[in-house]
Structure 1
């Protein structure tokens, strides 16, 4: 985090005159300084975000993390809604001040925002794995943090396609079961035509369940596939009209997804 910078204030020192027998005090009133020193205004920490604010974010802005975008009226087009605002813990046990972009501060914002999203959307954490709704978080800019801003903001967005956010309704409270939020795809996982889309758009495959993958490191691809085969097959069978004739596909997490915290694979069936 950015250490809070002290504001230097210039102070005008006045020297008193002392009378003596050989140097009598003058009756002349000293003239005022032609250039009096002015105290610099304190730095501006900026406005604090509020729950319920809406924002028209681009995909790039949604992943920027640091900075505050101006809210828009929720009845107008918007792609993000603030569902929680918290206070960053910027002071360490040793009495030092963390930077807003430190790992500890960003970890606090990420974990809090992620944990609070399911309740806001009215879904369980496992159900949200099959959703395109995600939490994004923002912290003050370095300049605002130096001025005393210590907030973090949690927004909900829906990733409607490659680097594209879905316009949201006026309120996203309980929005987690909407078809446009459910995760579908244009083709089977692993194919060139595979692209995630909301189930409100044209699609060919549907995400139906997830399989937890234990361990601190991402297992080998074959090991993940073996672990997912049984649960994914069972999920597909339970949805099939003929329990002896069904199709499914399984999607393992990439190393990038694993590092970002996705410790599960996704089971898919034809829509």
Structure 2
């Protein structure tokens, strides 16, 4: 969607609507059935942003003590209701979002707000197209060292379990480097940056049904204006940005927007 400028004194609130983190959509992935095995919990891999953009992955498993960018934190069989479903069924995507996001929070030791402000994210994979046609119905959720707008992924520790317990370190907090939040490269906050994700707003008070783009945007903007001002200790003027999501993400279960402060700290 287009950027809509808003003023907070001399600051502009920059709107960006993005897709949910790495849902693994794409076309025929070319994974041979013979090379495809059911996923193993705790397996580590060296994945790239291109890898997680695909719906299936048969990447080589590496020792978790070695350098890796992904760790499998949840696996299992899909519900019987998907036995006759298409591989790209929207209900399947929504189910995977709920399942992987809930397990993601539990695995990292964080709440919903914190996981939306970390540089790590999750990707989910399903059987290859050929294996799906042959009846395979499993899922795999991986924590990965980056997000949708990362140019490359950072290495994860031996295990990412409990990574966000306690006060999160800047190494795992998400910042953005660019003139605006929209389209900027997302980096760990230990790297040079101009924006930091500082708070989120829960939009649950707007009801269960999607209230429309305008109400979601305005509610997000007004909250972030106040929240970022407080985070910056109420300066005379400041810049802030916010990320909000559309109906598809709402229906999948996302009910939060992210507030960004323009800062190099």
Same fold (TM over 0.5): yes
**CA-CA distance at 1:262 after TM superposition:** 5.0
1:74 aligns with 2:64: yes
- Is 1:235 aligned with 2:224? no
Q: Hey, what does 2:142 align to over in structure 1?
A: 155
Q: CA deviation at 1:124?
A: 0.3
Distance in 1 between residues matched to 2:76 and 2:61, nearest whole Å: 17
Paired residues of 1:100 and 1:145 also in contact (CA < 8 A) = yes
- TM-score (norm. length: structure 1): 0.68
Matched, 1:172 2:160: yes
Where is the helix percentage greater, Structure 1 or Structure 2?
A: 2
> Distance between the aligned counterparts of 2:34 and 2:243, measured in 1?
47
Partner of 1:37: none
Matches of 1:122 and 1:206 in 2, distance apart?
Answer: 21
Q: Does 1:53 align with 2:43?
A: yes
- Aligned: 1:142 with 2:103: no
* Distance (Å, rounded) in 2 between the aligned partners of 1:104 and 1:178: 36
Deviation at 1:182, TM superposition (A): 0.9
Asked if 1:219 corresponds to 2:207, the answer is: no
CA contact (8 A) 2:196 2:260 kept: yes
RMSD: 3.1
Aligned to 1:125: 112
Q: Is the 8 A contact 1:183 1:196 kept in 2?
A: yes
1:258-269 → structure 2 map (5 Å cutoff): 258=249, 263-269=255-261
- Distance (whole Å) between structure 1 residues aligned to residue 123 and residue 220 of structure 2: 29
Alignment length, in residue pairs? 222
Task: Give 2:187's aligned residue.
Answer: 197
Distance 1:136 1:252, change over 3 A: closer
Bigger Rg, structure 1 or 2: 1
Deviates more, 1:232-241 or 1:117-126: 232-241
Structure with more contact order per residue of length (Cα contacts < 8 Å, sep ≥ 6): 2
C-alpha distance after superposition, 1:31-84 (max 9, x if no partner): xxxxxxxxxxxx969532111100111211112122432211212221110001
TM-aligned CA deviation for residue 171 of structure 1? 0.8
CA distance, structure 2, for counterparts of residue 182 and residue 157 of structure 1: 14
Structure 2, unmatched stretches of 5+, are 1-32
Provide closer, same or farther for how the CA distance between residues 265 and 44 of structure 1 changes in structure 2, counting only shifts above 3 A.
closer
